[in-house]
Amino acid sequence: MEGPAREARPEDGAGPAAGREDLSSRIKEQKIVVDELSNLKKNRKVYRQQQNSNIFFLADRTEMLSESKNLLDELKREYQEMENSEKTKIKK
Amino acid sequence: MEAPPDPAPLAAVPPAPLRAPAVARLRQEQEKVVAGCRERIQHWQRVDDDYSALQERLGTLPDKLSYDIMVPFGPFAFMPGKLVHTNEVTVLLGDNWFAKCSAKQAVGLAEHRKGHVRKTIDDLKKVMTNFESRVEFTEDLQKMSDAAGDIVDIREEIKSDFEFKAKHRIAHKPHSKPKAAGASEAGFASVEPKDLLADQELWARLEELERQEEQLGELESQPPPVMANGGDAASSEEEEEDAGRCVNGRVNGTHPAAEPAAPSCRPSDDPGVEGFRGPSCTVNGARSPLSDEDEDEDGDDDDALGPGASCVPTIYFSHTVEPKRVRINTGKNTTLKFSEKREEARRKRRNGGGCHPAPEPPAIRSPADVYRVFVDLVDGAYVPRKSILKSRSRENSVCSDTSEGSAADGEERRGLLRSLSGEEAAGSDAGESIPEEEPEPEPEAFSGTVTEKELPPCLAPHPAAAHPVLATIPERREAPSEGSEVTKRVSKFKAARLLQRS
C-alpha cells in the first residue's frame, strides 16, 4: 500500500527565469508521479494527501493516474508557451 | 555596500547633492522591500489555495458516512483507518478555542477566512507596485547623477521668512500683535504695531531702512535687496508701497539667519555685506547680470558646479516677489529705487522744502544714480524719471535723442522744470550742478527740444536750423532764453506738430 504524496502547488509569480526553473522542476515531479502511478499493481491503494495537513484520503488509482497525466500535459504546455514568449522577446 | 546601518528603507534622497552610493543604497533597500512583498504574497497565495482545497474537501465530506484514510501516527508513521462522523467538524477559532459545526458551516468559515487573506494579498500587491515604481524612480535618479552633463538639479531653498510672512498676514487690526517667530529676519517681531501706527515712527523706520540701503548700495555698488518686514498689520498699507512687501530671496540663502530683532531688516552693514557677498561669491560669481536689480532676483541662476560634493551642477533658485514699487527699466543695470527718492523727498520736506540744497549731495557715480536722485512728483506720487535715452512713446511720440549733450541738458532742464515741487527743488538744484556740462548747445545746432506752448514763435527758428531728421524728440525743456521759469507744458503731440510745421 503505497501512498504517493501528491500536493497541489500554486504557481509562483516570480520572474521569468525563476518561473522557468520552477516550472521545469514541477514538470519533472509530475513525470515521476505519472510514472509511479502507471507502475502500480492493480491491488494497490492510492491515497491523496489533504493540502497542508497530514491526512490522506483514499483515492481511485485510475482516476489519479489520469489526473496526473492531465496535470503533466498542462505543465508542459505552459513551459512551451513560456519558452516561446521568451524567444519572441529576445527576437524583438 | 559602504552604507551606514541606516534602518529606514524608506529614506528619502538626502538633501545634499545626489550621491551615487546613497542612491544605490536607496535602490537596494527599495528592492528588498519589493522582494519581501513578493515572498509574502506568495505565502498568502498558498494559504488561499489551502483554504480553497479545504472547502472543496468539506463540500464532499458529508457524501459518505466514512472514509478510508491513512491516519497519521506521529510525524512519520501512518496507520490505515476510517474517518467517521463526516459532518461534524471542529474548527479552531484561535487561542485554543474550538467550535463544533457542520461541514457547511465550516465551509462558510473557510470562506470568511479567505476574504481576509485576499485583502492581505491586495494590500501587499499595492505596496509592491508602489515600491516598484520607487525603484524605477531611483534608477532614473541614478542615471541622472551619473550623466551629470545635461541634467541639472534645481534647488530652491526656502527661507524661514517665507513661512513667517505667510503666518503673519494679519488683517488690519490696530492692536493685533504679529506673532513673534524665533529669530526672524523680518525683525519686526519685537515692535508693537501700535508704535508703528504713528506716521512719524513709520517714516523714521523707513528712513532708517533706506539709509541702510543706501549705505549698502554704496558699499556693494549694487542696490542691495530689501528684506521682508513680515507681519506688520497696521503698517502694511503704507509699507506696502515701500518695503513692506518685498521679499528678498537670497542667493544660496546663507545669509546669517539670526538677524537682530532691531527694527532693521539688515544686520550691521559691513558684516552683513560681507556675509551677503560671501555666498554669492562662492557661486561662481555669476550674479552680476541678473542680480544687479535690487529686488528682481527672480530666478537667480547660479551654476554652482558643486564643489566636488556632487557631480550634478546645481542651480540655486530663489523666489522673490516683486515689490510694489514704481520701477522702470532704465537700462541694463539700473533699477530705480523708490525708497531712496522717497527718503530724499521726505528729507527735503522735513528740511522745510526750501530751495536750499539737500544736506548731503547725492553721490552720483553712475547714470543709475542720476535716476535715483531725480524724482518727479506726479499727482502726488513719486515717479522716477524716465531716461531720455529711451523713447518715451507715451510722453513723446518721437524717437529718442541719443546725443550726449542734449541728454545732459535734458536732465538739467528737467531738473529746472520740475522745481515746481519744492521738495525736488533742492534735489534738482543739487543735481543740476553735476551734469552741468554745456548749458546749451549752439542755438543753431540741434537741440531737439520742444518748448512749451507759449513759445511757438521761439520754436520756429530752432528747428529750422536743426536737422529735420533729428528734430524728433520734443523734450520738455525750457528755452534757454527764458531762464528757469516754469512754463506751461505743451502736449507732446502739439509740440511735435509745431516742430514739424516749422
Residue B67 has pLDDT above 80, yes or no: yes
Provide the pLDDT confidence category of residue B243 given band limits of 50, 70 and 90: very low
Smallest CA-to-CA distance from B159 within B245, B250, B282, B243 is with B250
Q: Looking at the complex, does the CB of residue A79 fall below 8 Å from at least one CB of chain B?
A: no
The nearest CA of chain A is from the CA of B46 a distance in Å of: 6
- Whether A2 is in a domain gets the answer no
**From start to end of B41-96, where are the E strands?**
67-73, 77-83, 89-94
Q: Which domains does chain B have, with CATH numbers?
A: 20-142 (1.10.287.370)
Q: Which residue out of B43, B52, B70, B84 would a mutagenesis test of the A interface target, given it has the greatest number of A Cβ atoms within 10 Å?
A: B70
Burial of B418 (0-12, 13-18, 19+ CB in 10 A): buried
Average pLDDT, integer, range B124-139 = 91
- Whether A38 is in a domain gets the answer yes
Stronger pLDDT, B78 or B220, i.e. the higher one: B78
Q: Is B299 left (phi over 0), alpha (psi -120 to 50) or beta?
A: left
Smallest CA-to-CA distance from B361 within B349, B348, B376 is with B348
Distance CA(B395)–CA(B308), nearest Å, equals: 54
Distance CA(B200)–CA(B195), nearest Å, equals: 10
What would the pLDDT profile of B262-289 be if each residue is shown by its tens digit?
444 444 444 434 434 433 333 343 344 4
Distance CA(B446)–CA(A87), nearest Å, equals: 88
Give residue B362's pLDDT: 64
Average pLDDT, integer, range B37-60 = 94
Burial of B457 (0-12, 13-18, 19+ CB in 10 A): exposed
B98 CB neighbour count, 10 Å cutoff: 11
Sign of the dihedral defined by the CA atoms of residues A12, A17, A20, A25, in that order: negative
CB contact under 8 A, A13 and B38: yes
Give residue B332's pLDDT: 60
- Whether A28 is in a domain gets the answer yes
Q: Which residue out of A6, A11, A48, A50 would a mutagenesis test of the B interface target, given it has the greatest number of B Cβ atoms within 10 Å?
A: A50
Residue B451 has pLDDT above 50, yes or no: yes
Distance CA(B372)–CA(B388), nearest Å, equals: 14
pLDDT averaged over every residue in chain B:
65
CATH number at residue A28: 1.10.287.370
Provide the pLDDT confidence category of residue B502 given band limits of 50, 70 and 90: confident
Give residue B171's pLDDT: 65
Q: Looking at the complex, does the CB of residue B56 fall below 8 Å from at least one CB of chain A?
A: no
Q: Which domain does A39 fall in, by range?
A: 18-90
Amino acid type, A51: Q
For chains A and B, CB pairs below 8 A equal: 45
> Of B38, B46, B83, which is closest to A10 when you measure between CB atoms?
B46
Cell triple for B128: 509592491
Q: CA dist B364 to B29, B262, B367, B374, Å? A: 63, 30, 8, 11
- Whether A1 is in a domain gets the answer no
Chain A partners within 8 Å of B72 (Cβ): 54-55
Total residues belonging to chain B: 502
Q: Which residue out of A2, A9, A49, A57 would a mutagenesis test of the B interface target, given it has the greatest number of B Cβ atoms within 10 Å?
A: A57
- Whether A50 is in a domain gets the answer yes
CB contact under 8 A, B72 and A55: yes
Distance CA(B54)–CA(B50), nearest Å, equals: 6
Distance CA(B105)–CA(B79), nearest Å, equals: 29
CB contact under 8 A, A13 and B53: no
- Whether A80 is in a domain gets the answer yes
Stronger pLDDT, B125 or B382, i.e. the higher one: B125
CB contact under 8 A, A51 and B80: no
Percentage of residues in chain B having pLDDT higher than 70: 40
CB contact under 8 A, A13 and B41: yes
Q: Looking at the complex, does the CB of residue B6 fall below 8 Å from at least one CB of chain A?
A: no
Helix (H) or strand (E) holding B426: helix B422-433
Average pLDDT, integer, range B136-144 = 84
Q: Looking at the complex, does the CB of residue A5 fall below 8 Å from at least one CB of chain B?
A: no
Q: CA dist B409 to B22, B374, B400, B403, B438, Å? A: 65, 14, 14, 10, 7
Distance CA(B223)–CA(B337), nearest Å, equals: 8
Provide the pLDDT confidence category of residue B291 given band limits of 50, 70 and 90: very low
Of all residues in chain A, the one with the smallest CA distance to B41 is A13
Q: Looking at the complex, does the CB of residue B39 fall below 8 Å from at least one CB of chain A?
A: no
Give residue B391's pLDDT: 66
Q: What is the domain count for chain A?
A: 1
CB B45 within 8 A of CB A10: yes
Smallest CA-to-CA distance from A35 within A71, A69, A77, A80 is with A69
Helix (H) or strand (E) holding B494: helix B492-501
Give residue B41's pLDDT: 95
What would the pLDDT profile of B372-429 be if each residue is shown by its tens digit?
777 776 676 777 776 677 765 555 444 444 444 444 444 554 444 444 444 444 444 4
Q: Is B41 left (phi over 0), alpha (psi -120 to 50) or beta?
A: alpha
Average pLDDT, integer, range B14-41 = 81
Smallest CA-to-CA distance from B243 within B204, B210, B266, B220 is with B210
- Whether A11 is in a domain gets the answer no
Chain B partners within 8 Å of A14 (Cβ): 38
Q: Which long-range contacts (CB under 8 A, 24 or more apart) does B189-196 make?
A: B189/B231, B189/B261, B190/B261, B190/B263, B191/B232, B191/B263, B193/B232, B193/B233, B193/B234, B193/B235, B194/B234, B196/B232, B196/B234, B196/B235
Provide the pLDDT confidence category of residue B466 given band limits of 50, 70 and 90: very low
Q: CA dist B112 to B32, B66, B119, B426, Å? A: 32, 27, 11, 93
Distance CA(B409)–CA(B477), nearest Å, equals: 9
What would the pLDDT profile of A25-80 be if each residue is shown by its tens digit?
999 999 999 999 999 999 999 999 988 888 999 999 999 999 999 999 999 999 99
- Whether A12 is in a domain gets the answer no
